[in-house]
C-alpha cells in the first residue's frame, strides 16, 4: 500500500467496490433478471441500481463534507438509507 500512498479506508473503499462488481456479475450470471420499472419510470437492472446508488452516495458524501465537515458517519448512514431506497423502489 505504501507505493500508492493510500490509506486503509481508501483501500477498503475500492476493495468494497470491486467486491460489489464481482458479486453483481455472479448474480447476473446465476440469476438473470428482466428490467423493472420503478419510481423513476425507467427500466433498471441490478447493475443500473448499483450505479445510481454509487453516484448518489458520492454526491451525498460530498454534500455532507460541505455542510458538516470531516466525520462522515452521518453521511454513511444516509448513503445506506439511500442504497436501500434505490434497490427497493427504483
Tell me the whole-structure pTM to 2 decimals. Answer: 0.83
Render 11-76 in DSSP notation, one character per residue: HHHHHHHHHHHHHHHHHHHHS----EE-TTSSEE-HHHHHHHHHHHHHHHHHHHHHHH-S--HHHH
Domain edges within the chain? 8-89
pLDDT tens column, 38-82: 998 999 999 999 999 999 999 999 999 999 988 889 999 999 999
For residue range 27-40, list pLDDT tens digits in order: 999 999 889 999 98
Amino acid at each position: 500500500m505504501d507505493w500508492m500512498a493510500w490509506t486503509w479506508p481508501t483501500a477498503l473503499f475500492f476493495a468494497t467496490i470491486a467486491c460489489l462488481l464481482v458479486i453483481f456479475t455472479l448474480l447476473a450470471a446465476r440469476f438473470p433478471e428482466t428490467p423493472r420499472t420503478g419510481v423513476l419510470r425507467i427500466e433498471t437492472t441490478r447493475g443500473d441500481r448499483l450505479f445510481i446508488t454509487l453516484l448518489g452516495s458520492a454526491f451525498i458524501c460530498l454534500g455532507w463534507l460541505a455542510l458538516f465537515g470531516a466525520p462522515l458517519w452521518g453521511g454513511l448512514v444516509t448513503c445506506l438509507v439511500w442504497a436501500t431506497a434505490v434497490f427497493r423502489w427504483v
